[in-house]
Structure 1
């Protein structure tokens, strides 16, 4: 058995089509094909940090499904619980970038293959050699029944004494904040590690002072409340104490995937027994490195890149 720590995550993945020209999509003729998806990004981030990462999903039995499968497998992600399904096209999203740098994302994930996943598909076997389960709000937003699947995952994790981390990862193009809030409040009491952006938690509970956040964590029995705040760094509430770590100074090129990278970095630190301050520093470093490369997951760093960076032993050359 591998000595590395194992993580399990589940969710949809998409083919991301990035424009090679700026302007409204109706005038863009060329796109670059990439692979994206919050949970898959997390799995890739964990794999690049040397952990065993299992991704549970469903893909369309089509060419784009093969692209995602082969890409993830090439990154070292365990694909043993990924299946291809007929009649459900692999999800797509198109990005639009305007001349001023602003952008939009257009999702084409109706009848996503992940809709074929059922609570009864989640079995004890999937949790063998797993040390942590990671869920996000993107999976919950795709279809109401996914809440039951997530609950099934968390139930088995609890039975096996496996900690659960959760990133709200709010996608207001998939559901309303009211719908999201109702589901999150169902999920939070089963979460051990909550990894959330400051803006996200403000949207969910309406307040963001340290006192109110601490009360929220205590009421929901969240052991570790981790707040991501971009260039302001991150902070963690646990055992009635706040811990803070400043961000690394970088010139961001693309912030997409930085939150997923931060999550992978924090979980690496948690599973490897780093101190609270070291965990935050490591996660901040991973998130910072992600922003120095354009793309959904291209910037997720390898372990040998992170340590020299956070120890100020090297200049970023990526």
Structure 2
């Protein structure tokens, strides 16, 4: 599935790993003491960080993954799937006696709901990120800020070290299951971040805002480029000079929205590393996210540069 390697850029992704058990259909909401049939059931590679890594590999970048999984079948499955999609897993560690994380995804053509068992996800710590690996990187990314308990306090130091080495940085928060949103921690990290890529709902919660313009106004002076996913309404970009741009979504009929935001992340990172800016950057991210919806699961349909270009040419 991997495209020809773009040898000019190596992306290190430090992230959570889990399997997604996807239950698909028009009506997938469980009812107590009732039974329903569904259209489809799959076990696939999950996690925001992993899906973004696989999409970056499919776009042609050299991707190295750092993570912790359990010494179980699901952990082996995650590593095998990453390898199959061209991601280097030399720094994915298997721990005996630990269960790999699992997410149950209840997916319809228009939206999804998630239930996650964290398992090994909170066990990743800075000790698993060797300096030798950072020395090979041109970009550092992670997803799921709120799930990675072992890393949360250490991201500013790691990103600061990356910036000191001339490495660009990005992150996606994901949903805060504790509903605390940790604005202070996010802002400490933004000082060392080049690309902040939340969803609209996430940034509205972080900044306790009713609309996106209000959240943008509350960003600190140190804020970087902020690319906000808006689902069926496309995406918005807030530049460091506070200028705000938007781009409409690409026109596709979704099969499954799982992983669309993570593939958008990959498109934004790829575009940034290749000098895309403003509307061009947003539209490429939108195209990558839209292509993802054409398959089931986060890695069921990964974007390529050629497919993204063809989709954008149709608009």
TM-score interval, smaller chain: 0.7 to 0.9
Q: Structure 1 residues 215, 108: CA separation in 2 closer, same or farther (over 3 Å shift)?
A: closer
Q: State the number of aligned residues.
A: 304
126, 135, 158: which one pairs with 1:128?
Answer: 135
Q: Secondary structure at the match of 2:191?
A: helix
**1:62 corresponding residue in structure 2:** 72
CA distance in 1, matches of 2:216, 2:113: 34
Which whole-Å deviations, capped at 9, do the CAs of 1:137-168 have from their partners, x for residues lacking one? x244342x321332342132122121211212
Q: Secondary structure at the match of 1:79?
A: strand
Q: Does 1:162 align with 2:167?
A: yes
Counterpart contact for 1:19–1:28, Cα < 8 Å: no
Counterpart contact for 2:100–2:121, Cα < 8 Å: no
Offset, 1:257:
0.9
TM superposition score normalised by structure 2: 0.86
Offset, 1:128:
2.6
Q: Does 1:108 align with 2:128?
A: no
CA distance in 2, matches of 1:249, 1:104: 23
Counterpart contact for 2:171–2:196, Cα < 8 Å: yes
- In the alignment, structure 1 segments of 5+ residues that lack a partner are 314-318
Q: Structure 1 residues 106, 241: CA separation in 2 closer, same or farther (over 3 Å shift)?
A: closer
Counterpart contact for 1:198–1:208, Cα < 8 Å: no
Q: Secondary structure at the match of 1:5?
A: strand
Counterpart contact for 2:124–2:148, Cα < 8 Å: no
Offset, 1:271:
0.5
Offset, 1:298:
1.1
**2:15 corresponding residue in structure 1:** 11
**Aligned Cα RMSD in Å?**
2.8
Which segments of structure 1 move beyond 6 Å, counting only runs of 4 or more? none
Which whole-Å deviations, capped at 9, do the CAs of 1:262-282 have from their partners, x for residues lacking one? 110011111011232211111
TM superposition score normalised by structure 1: 0.85
CA distance in 2, matches of 1:306, 1:82: 30
**2:237 corresponding residue in structure 1:** 236
Counterpart contact for 2:24–2:106, Cα < 8 Å: no
Q: Structure 1 residues 103, 6: CA separation in 2 closer, same or farther (over 3 Å shift)?
A: closer
Spell out the pairing of 1:156-235 with structure 2 (5 A cutoff). 156-172=161-177, 175-176=178-179, 178-207=180-209, 212-217=214-219, 219-235=220-236
CA distance in 1, matches of 2:297, 2:279: 28
Counterpart contact for 1:193–1:222, Cα < 8 Å: no
Offset, 1:2:
6.6
Offset, 1:117:
3.0
Counterpart contact for 1:38–1:260, Cα < 8 Å: yes
- In the alignment, structure 2 segments of 5+ residues that lack a partner are none
Offset, 1:190:
2.3
Counterpart contact for 2:190–2:224, Cα < 8 Å: no
Offset, 1:50:
0.5
Q: Structure 1 residues 116, 200: CA separation in 2 closer, same or farther (over 3 Å shift)?
A: closer
271, 278, 281: which one pairs with 1:279?
Answer: 281
